[in-house]
C-alpha cells in the first residue's frame, strides 16, 4: 500500500514538473512582437477610391502558425494631423513559430471631406510612425498627393576637389511619381557616431499614371576633406548606407 502511494505521488510530482517546464519554455519562446495590439506595416500605399481616402497596408505577421490578423476589424482614427491605423492581432498559440508572413489589408482612412485642404497628414500604424518611410498625404485643390521615402537604387561617395560628395540614384516610377525636392532634409553634419542622415521624399499624384520607369539623381556635399578628422564615416539616405574612411585628407570608399 505504501509503495502504491509513493508511486502515485512520484507520478504526480513528475507531471507538475513537466507542466512547469512547458510553461517556462513557452515563456522563453514568446516573441514580444506577438503581444502588440496592432500589426506593424511593411509598406503603406495611400490612394482614393471615390470619396474615400484608402490605405493598402502590407502588414507583418510574426509567426504564421501562432499569429493572425483580424483584418475585418481594422480601423483608422484621425487625431489632429495624424491618422493612425490599427490592424488587430490574434495570438492563437503562446509559442511563437518565429516565421514571418505578410497580408494585405485595406483600410478606409476617412472621407476626403474629413481632411483639411493643404494640410499634411502623417499616417501611422499601431501608433508608431515609420521613421524611415514616413508615410503621409495631403489634398490640394481636390487632388490628393501621397508621400513616402524614395527608393534608393544606388548610393556612392567620392571626393570632388575638397568636397565629399554623396550621390543617390533614385527609382522614381511612372508619370504620377516625382521627387519632392522642396522637402528633402539633411542633418547638416556628422553626429557623435560619425553618421550623417538624409531624407528624400517620394511624391505620388493620386489617379491614373503612365507606366514608364523614371530615374533621378541627387547629390549632397556632406563635408570637406581638410576639415574632417581621420576615421570612418557613414551617410544614410532613406535608411540606405554608404561608408568611407578619411586618412590624412584622403577619402577611400568602403565596400
- Give the per-residue pLDDT at 129: 85
Give tens-digit pLDDT for 19-52.
333 333 333 343 444 445 799 999 999 999 999 9
The model carries a pTM of: 0.79
| C-alpha cell, 167 | 550621390
| C-alpha cell, 231 | 576615421
Give tens-digit pLDDT for 151-184.
999 999 999 999 999 999 999 999 999 999 999 9
Contact (CB, 8 A) for 69 and 103:
yes
Average pLDDT of the segment spanning 59-79: 90
Lowest mean pLDDT among 107-116, 122-131, 184-193, 230-239: 122-131
- The whole-angstrom separation of Cα 136 and Cα 109 is 11
- Give the per-residue pLDDT at 62: 85
Query: What are the beta bridge partners of residue 169?
Result: 154, 217
Q: What is the percent of the chain with per-residue pLDDT over 70, rounded to a whole number?
A: 84
DSSP per-residue string spanning 163-211: EEEEEEEEEEESTTEEE-GGG-EE-SS--TTSEEEEE-EEEEESS----
As a dihedral over the C-alpha atoms of residue 88, residue 89, residue 92, residue 95, rounded to 10 degrees, the angle is -160
| C-alpha cell, 168 | 543617390
CB-based burial label for 163 (10 Å; 0-12, 13-18, 19+) = middle
Q: Which sequence spans correspond to the domains of the chain?
A: 34-147, 151-253
Lowest mean pLDDT among 56-60, 69-73, 130-134: 130-134
- Give the per-residue pLDDT at 255: 80
Question: Nearest CA to 44 among 99, 88, 107, 89?
Answer: 107
Question: Nearest CA to 86 among 41, 146, 34?
Answer: 41
Average pLDDT of the segment spanning 77-89: 96
CB-based burial label for 43 (10 Å; 0-12, 13-18, 19+) = middle
- Give the per-residue pLDDT at 217: 97
Amino acid at each position: 500500500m505504501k509503495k502504491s502511494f509513493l508511486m502515485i505521488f512520484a507520478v504526480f510530482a513528475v507531471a507538475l514538473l513537466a507542466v512547469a517546464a512547458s510553461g517556462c519554455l513557452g515563456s522563453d519562446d514568446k516573441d514580444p512582437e506577438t503581444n502588440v495590439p496592432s500589426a506593424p506595416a511593411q509598406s503603406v500605399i495611400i490612394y482614393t477610391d471615390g470619396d474615400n481616402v484608402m490605405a493598402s497596408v502590407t502588414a507583418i505577421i510574426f509567426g504564421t502558425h501562432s499569429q493572425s490578423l483580424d483584418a475585418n476589424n481594422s480601423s483608422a482614427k484621425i487625431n489632429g494631423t495624424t491618422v493612425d491605423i490599427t490592424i488587430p492581432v490574434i495570438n492563437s498559440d503562446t509559442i511563437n513559430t518565429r516565421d514571418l508572413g505578410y497580408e494585405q489589408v485595406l483600410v478606409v482612412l476617412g472621407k476626403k471631406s474629413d481632411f483639411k485642404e493643404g494640410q499634411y497628414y502623417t499616417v501611422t500604424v499601431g501608433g508608431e510612425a515609420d521613421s524611415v518611410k514616413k508615410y503621409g498625404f495631403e489634398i490640394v485643390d481636390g487632388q490628393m498627393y501621397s508621400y513616402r521615402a524614395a527608393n534608393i537604387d544606388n548610393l556612392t561617395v567620392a571626393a570632388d576637389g575638397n568636397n565629399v560628395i554623396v550621390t543617390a540614384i533614385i527609382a522614381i516610377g511612372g508619370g504620377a511619381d516625382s521627387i519632392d525636392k522642396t522637402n528633402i532634409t539633411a542633418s547638416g553634419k556628422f553626429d557623435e557616431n560619425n553618421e550623417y542622415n538624409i531624407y528624400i521624399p517620394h511624391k505620388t499624384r493620386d489617379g491614373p499614371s503612365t507606366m514608364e520607369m523614371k530615374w533621378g539623381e541627387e547629390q549632397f556635399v556632406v563635408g570637406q576633406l581638410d576639415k574632417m578628422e581621420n576615421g570612418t564615416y557613414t551617410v544614410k539616405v532613406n535608411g540606405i548606407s554608404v561608408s568611407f574612411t578619411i586618412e590624412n585628407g584622403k577619402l577611400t570608399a568602403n565596400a
